[in-house]
Structure 1
């Protein structure tokens, strides 16, 4: 960090520099036509709701990386995603903390929730903002771990929560486990709803054919072993997965199957039709 030798003036410059960077970042996002939520902190409550709350445990005092702090419990409007001030409203307190830091005074630890590898501030937004402005890489924090049904990996922006929320609902309907759970991945949130309905319909037909009742776990396991994996393996061998995920390729060919079955034709032209559809 630069220094003039006058801590108070340096603290004032620190704040003005952080505000200028925040405004320039907003302008850059506008020029690039990036989503509105690209610079917004992730809201803790929405993240936990999307992932499914299971429990929590207090760890105590830890040293955490500043770049792992991505969200807030209740102060998202005062700072952007990189904890730059969004207005002059926080200036007085911000400069007071910056002045203390430049004088080498002790700054109390912040308090955070930990979800996976991500941290969400309960208390200490100004301290994190000042630490970022002073180019620090770590900060002391009292950490409480929150366990969730889904792993938060892949969450970058608020919009990513929609996909996580639909995936959680899909896995409630189709309770896959282990490797099967990890393999079935879709990139569009509504595809999870469509696939869930498809698996339920497949399970209903299976129960009709066998004249037995199967619970959701049994249907999910049999769909994965008897339907999903064999179809995906054939798609791979036929080089028909393309740039889709395997689950997306399965959904595509399943939709084509039900469309083609209405023609009552199952000759070599059907495969060529699939290949032509794949190339479009």
Structure 2
């Protein structure tokens, strides 16, 4: 980022800083529209929605830390005043923004901001204007009082607000199908609705298993049995039959499981099923 210009007149420079930040915000919004980027590409991530999607577990006060400005991606309650890079979205914040910019240009120390930390991401509780000014001046870090929030799912992969839908469905899926370890990590789907479909599929598989064995099995047991007795062998079979292709394993499993029942009306796996699926692919 280009550092703020210095003409030697702090008040005028602070005013120019704000106008430059506003101009960049407007140009960025226009560029995103011309590139047909998602509508939420420039929106700060809402903390409450992120935590709800990931599943709140606990929180603890970490204390004063130096954090990277580019790790700040969201806000608790002021997202409408700033875009994703904390450039002002209107002139409404101008007076306070310029006052802080002027203080910074005069060498005055600004108070630390306050943030929530979720994984490697930070969400502003207090200090939106200070972050905006710091970014406009080309700084890369800022002092912050940090409260760390633990969640059931990792925030990895979240870029836009729309990504929260996938995370939310994945969290619900893992509540229905409580996989652990490598099994948990390996089931990744790009379409959020596929998590709901797969959850129903696993529950139906578990119901048939309990009927066959004549005993009740809890969700954790069903999830483990499905992964080891159904998912892994089927994925290996599909790999040997060259039916996975470029798609993720879980996506391939979803496709063939649905096609198997639609074509043959069976829940079994054998050479006849594989031949039918291979013919269907071509």
TM class, shorter-length:
over 0.9
TM-superposed deviation, 1:271:
3.6
Q: Which residue of 2 aligns with 1:66?
A: 69
Q: Which residue of 2 aligns with 1:121?
A: 124
Check the 8 A contact 2:263/2:276 in 1, yes or no: no
Q: Is 1:101 aligned with 2:76?
A: no
CA RMSD of aligned residues (A): 1.7
Q: Which residue of 1 aligns with 2:6?
A: 3
2: distance between equivalents of 1:221 and 1:161? Answer: 26
Q: Is 1:29 aligned with 2:35?
A: no
1: distance between equivalents of 2:265 and 2:148? Answer: 52
Q: Which residue of 2 aligns with 1:19?
A: 22
Q: What TM-score, normalized by structure 1, do the two folds share?
A: 0.96
1: distance between equivalents of 2:234 and 2:271? Answer: 18
1: distance between equivalents of 2:79 and 2:151? Answer: 22
* Structure 2 counterpart of 1:79, from 66, 79, 82: 82
Q: Unaligned stretches of 5+ in structure 2?
A: none
1: distance between equivalents of 2:242 and 2:155? Answer: 31
| CA 1:263–1:229: 2 relative to 1, 3 Å | closer
* Structure 1 counterpart of 2:202, from 180, 185, 199: 199
1: distance between equivalents of 2:247 and 2:266? Answer: 27
* Structure 1 counterpart of 2:50, from 47, 57, 80: 47
Q: Name the SS of the counterpart of 2:62 in structure 1.
A: strand
Q: Which residue of 1 aligns with 2:94?
A: 91
2: distance between equivalents of 1:67 and 1:184? Answer: 30
Count matched residues: 279
Alignment of 1:168-187 (within 5 A): 168-187=171-190
Q: In the TM superposition, what whole-angstrom CA distance separates every residue of 1:113-154 from its partner, at most 9, and x where no partner exists?
A: 000000000000000000110111000000000010110100
Q: What TM-score, normalized by structure 2, do the two folds share?
A: 0.95
The runs of at least 4 aligned residues of structure 1 exceeding 3 Å deviation read: 266-273, 276-279
